[in-house]
Structure 1
Amino acid sequence: MKIVRRIGASPRERGSVTGETCPDIFELSDGNFAVIGTEATARLDGELPADAARADYERIVIISRETLVRAKAEIPDA
């Protein structure tokens, strides 16, 4: 599995010049996506709706609204 491309604007294009806040979205060679975000599992796990579940190896991460909105146009429909 490899990173094929970034989805959306780079952190620098979104104003991160220090490298300290760099949420990012990548498309992988297997068609899945990888996300860099702020780890928030402990804070949000209890807030998940009743029909949502998280495996022990999964984490809840937060990305900024701007990161996702700017990636929207590049996320494939299928």
Structure 2
Amino acid sequence: MRGSATGETCPDLFELSNGDFAIIGTEATADLDPHLPPDAARADYERIVVIDRDTLIRAKRDIPDA
């Protein structure tokens, strides 16, 4: 189920018409960029967005396996 039971805004993950996924979450690039693992990188136009664990787990059923 999408949306908030309390009427507030919430993190969300949804599929776009082209098959990509978009995430609504808390922007945390400045805080987390220095802590990326050594094998992770981000382009200047990319941002690190945080969503809570519950949001991702609930979205799992809607993410295709392939």
TM-score (norm 1): 0.77
Q: Where does the alignment leave 5 or more consecutive residues of structure 1 unmatched?
A: 1-8
Give, in angstroms, the shift of residue 11 of structure 1. Answer: 3.1
RMSD across aligned positions (CA): 1.2
Instruction: Tell me which residue corresponds to 1:64.
Output: 52
RCO comparison, higher one (Cα < 8 Å, 6+)? 1
Give, in angstroms, the shift of residue 30 of structure 1. Answer: 1.0
Instruction: Tell me which residue corresponds to 2:2.
Output: 10
Q: Quick one: which of 44, 68, 78 aligns to 2:32? A: 44
Moved over 6 A (4+): none
User: Deviations for 1:16-63, whole angstroms, at most 9, x for unmatched residues?
Assistant: x1424x100110111100000000000000111111100011000100
Instruction: Tell me which residue corresponds to 2:12.
Output: 24
